[in-house]
Structure 1
Amino acid sequence: MPADTQEPGRSTPSPGYRSVFRTREFRPVFAAHLMSVLGVVVAEISLTVLVYRATGSPLMSALTFALGFLPYALGGTLLAGIADRHPARRVLVVCDLVCAACATAMILPGTPVAVLLALRCAMAFVAPLFQGTRNASLADILGPGDTFVLGRSLMRMVAQSAQLVGFGLGGLLLTVLAPRGAIALTAAGFLGSALLLRLGTRSRPARTRTRTSPLAGLRAVLGRRRLRALTLLFWLPPVFVVVPEALLAPYVDGIGAGTAVLGLLMCAMPVGTIAGELWAGSALTARTRSRIVAPLAAAGLLPLLLFAVRPGVPLVLAALLLAGLAHAYTLGLDQWYVDAVPEELRGRAMTLLSTGLMTLQGVGMALAGLAAEFLPVHAVVTGSGILGTAVVLLLLAELRAAARQEEGLKNETALAAK
């Protein structure tokens, strides 16, 4: 375990989520996040319907969803340096205005399908920059300690809840509005988010004026042994966690259950994730959250081994809920990460973190589908649990080795100074 997670001050009781909202600047940031996340979900549904009605092609409709993932890697890699080189508030407002402009252009009658897809790509292209800059600015607004961890947790729970509520809300909107009308609400949401961030947060200077190439920024983050191990500990487990969700439809069909069961099971892991984070943020001290990172991360994928017996609905539901609950370790991991990132790299590090998370989840889904072409679904899910657990154990071992190396270097420096 990293040595700096053992400070005595971290043993005090958690201030709880209410303490985060006592910070005046956080309230508009949270409201802006809620508006933009719901706006993106509504836009995805509405645009999918719009493209399908224009083309009659299921492939084009599915491609509309895929384009929410594909530009992430490119945008996050190329734009990461902007997060530190320019004031955070300016970057956030400009990103919101770009998305509002794209959504507004989608509303125009007669917009060709190719242009609609290009506009969707543009929104996804700036998304990792926006998320990384916002996450880095949370450390400025809340401080890099326990309140920052709780703020990050709230942002994640909003994103998880949006998947549960947003699709239903989008479907409801489309019963009373045309797709372009729903997208107009998305544009208004991005404009509202920009206004909240511009008027509700204060301007802070850029963290650095040094211009670096995208690859140099990537090397600056991943070239540090401990930071690299922490980044991979964020990135790689989701590659395996998404496998059961990606294959739920064929699995449910294979056991003879209906679409209502599929909907219930799709909600299980997000509900477990939200419950786990609420428990860790409300009931545990910062030191305890740090202590549970390794055991929960190591055990988090073990519930997927239940798929080995080709279980029925109750056991699948339990496995997905348990896998979601294990995400409680993420709060402690957040603290390790912000402690490890130098302030001048914080924006780039957070942007690359968001980029890798989104991109690798898409990769995990694609690999799961490919494996299921050759193997039974329950075997693919079981294999992901085994392989993912092995990967996590290797990463935890690397993290401990990196912590020992850093401690040794500190001791050598202290002896040399004497």
Structure 2
Amino acid sequence: MSGPDESAQRTATIRQTLANREYAAVFTAQAQSVLGDNVARAAIVALIYGHTRSPVVTAAAFAVSYLPWLGLGAVLTAWAERHPYRRTMIGCDILRAGIMLVLAVFPHAHPSVLIALLFLNALLAPPFDSSRSALMPRLLHGEQYVTAITLNRTTAQLALIGGYGLGAVLVTVNERAALVFNGVTFAVSAVIVSLLVKEYPPSLKAEQHTGLLREALDGYRIVFSSTVMRSIALVVFCGVSIGVIPEGLAAAWAAHLAGDKPDTFGFGVIMIASAVGFVAGSALVTWQLRPQRRVALIRPVAIVTPLALVPALLDPNLVVVAIMTVVAGASLAITMPAGNGLFVQVLPPAYRARAFGVMQSGVHLCQGAAALITGWLATYYALPAVVGYFAIGGAAAMALVIAAWPTRATIADAVAANKVVIAAEQHAVAGPGRIDDFGEVTIDLGRAPLPPRRRPSPGPSARREPPMADPAERTVDLSERTAELGGLPPPPPSQAARHS
């Protein structure tokens, strides 16, 4: 994965990004299947509640889609690393289409059977999502990758809103129609990927297999032993823990503002405000900020997410709550594409699916825990106080995280060291003299390139030493530095093929 061009004055447009045929296929497949998934989720919630009239069983059916990310997700993403990403995505889509069609044929089965089928469907999400995330850096580079991240996240937010709305309409007509619709979207996704996306070899070769559990743990090791990746992960985890609060408490917050009465309008305003903020922030960071500024803005913007919710202590009205929610969502959306782009630049390719699986698992765990904790506290204490004090705690935690943010030199060394690993892998695959445009890879650090360093001169008459080599060429030094950063040292020439 190459970094954004240091000299770039503007980002890649949507048209330029979608001009990549393979990414356009992956994007289309994902967009329509996410829409179908949200349609089915609304239908399933209505279906199970209509049969059981039990809020607990209904909540279990809704929450079951997140369970695989909290345990089995790491093992499933490690399994996906062993297989070609395209093949994994197609297989997951076919199986999910079949499960949805079974649900549509037997919608009145016992709730335990329905929940079990939903859990099987959810088990296929980690390998599919991690394979898609790991495939994208192979399809896109530089600014096109950053634009693609924004497109994916924005589309997911729009699909969430549209899917719930369409699901509610289809349920009133025929609840089976929503399930069939979702099954069809999975089938279409499989067809699109199979016809328009090329097959790429798996990142983890057969001779590198060490056991699924160990490989899953290696995903956590590679993320949290690297100074740069660990810092990005902590910023993201802390940010999503705060950013999810307005959504998690939307119904209760709207009822509180309406005098402890259910308020559908207020609930909708808060939910939409969260999506609007995320879309606006994503658009701002991608198309209005220069590439050089993104990484530099991660720290100052990250602290805005929790601070935006601190005014909840004053128990503001619905308009102010909506504004707070928009600001929190926008600031979170600004940090995530920038952090994602940097994350990929320091992530060894052989760990892409597992590392993205670690990030996805952490995001789901933090969001679920934050929603449960604040919801539990709001049953005993005033909701505005819960939100405000939780946000203050989040701001303190975020301040500690960004205080430990790595220096520019550390980031530069980590990116350059990963270039050496990527070059060795490309050399092993392509053969001598065919390292694919490795010399054109640049680093986006939000600043101008470092000037060449010279050794100190003992006196004015002493001859100056020649400048040191470019970081990307200092293979020996970078190998040692990589070990310090927690990354993987570049393999010796005799073992390069084992790391391709």
Give the alignment's TM-score, normalised by structure 2: 0.77
| Equivalence for 1:259 | 264
| Equivalence for 1:187 | 183
In terms of mean alpha carbon deviation, does 34-43 or 351-360 score higher? 351-360
SS of aligned partner of 1:328: helix
Mapped pair 1:154 → 2:144: no
Counterpart of 1:199 (choices 195, 198, 213) is 195
| Equivalence for 1:139 | 137
The one-letter amino acid of 2:283's match is: L
Indicate if the aligned counterparts of 2:231 and 2:406 stay in contact, CA closer than 8 A: no
Number of paired residues? 411
For residues 140-194 of structure 1, give each alpha carbon's deviation from its aligned partner in whole angstroms, at most 9, with x where no partner exists.
0112x22111111111111111221111111111222x21221011111101001
The one-letter amino acid of 2:13's match is: G
Mapped pair 1:250 → 2:252: yes
Counterpart of 2:279 (choices 274, 279, 299) is 274
The one-letter amino acid of 2:254's match is: V
**What runs of 5+ residues in structure 1 fail to find an aligned partner?**
none
**What runs of 5+ residues in structure 2 fail to find an aligned partner?**
418-470, 481-500
For residues 261-290 of structure 1, give each alpha carbon's deviation from its aligned partner in whole angstroms, at most 9, with x where no partner exists.
221121101101101111221222211222
Mapped pair 1:365 → 2:363: no
The one-letter amino acid of 2:132's match is: R
| Superposed counterparts of 1:160-179, under 5 Å | 160-176=157-173, 178-179=174-175
Q: Which has the larger radius of gyration?
A: 2
| Equivalence for 1:233 | 235
Considering fraction of residues, name the structure with more helix: 1
| Equivalence for 2:92 | 95
Deviation, structure 1 residue 100: 1.0
Indicate if the aligned counterparts of 1:106 and 1:183 stay in contact, CA closer than 8 A: yes
Query: 1-side partners of 2:411 and 2:131: how far apart?
Result: 30
Deviation, structure 1 residue 390: 1.8
Indicate if the aligned counterparts of 2:228 and 2:411 stay in contact, CA closer than 8 A: no
Distance 1:217-1:262 versus aligned 2 partners, 3 A rule: closer
Mapped pair 1:390 → 2:387: no
| Equivalence for 1:324 | 329
Indicate if the aligned counterparts of 2:130 and 2:354 stay in contact, CA closer than 8 A: yes
The one-letter amino acid of 2:117's match is: L
Indicate if the aligned counterparts of 1:310 and 1:378 stay in contact, CA closer than 8 A: yes
Deviation, structure 1 residue 338: 0.6
For residues 348-400 of structure 1, give each alpha carbon's deviation from its aligned partner in whole angstroms, at most 9, with x where no partner exists.
11122122212221111111112213321111111222111222222222232
* Superposition RMSD in Å: 2.4
| Equivalence for 1:291 | 296
Counterpart of 2:226 (choices 224, 227, 240) is 224
| Equivalence for 1:30 | 27
Query: 2-side partners of 1:230 and 1:337: how far apart?
Result: 7
Indicate if the aligned counterparts of 1:14 and 1:282 stay in contact, CA closer than 8 A: yes
Query: 1-side partners of 2:400 and 2:88: how far apart?
Result: 37
Indicate if the aligned counterparts of 2:147 and 2:286 stay in contact, CA closer than 8 A: yes
Deviation, structure 1 residue 108: 2.2
SS of aligned partner of 1:358: helix
The one-letter amino acid of 1:277's match is: S
Deviation, structure 1 residue 92: 0.7
SS of aligned partner of 2:398: helix
Indicate if the aligned counterparts of 1:133 and 1:351 stay in contact, CA closer than 8 A: no
SS of aligned partner of 2:21: coil
| Superposed counterparts of 1:23-172, under 5 Å | 23-109=20-106, 110-143=108-141, 145-172=142-169
Give the alignment's TM-score, normalised by structure 1: 0.92
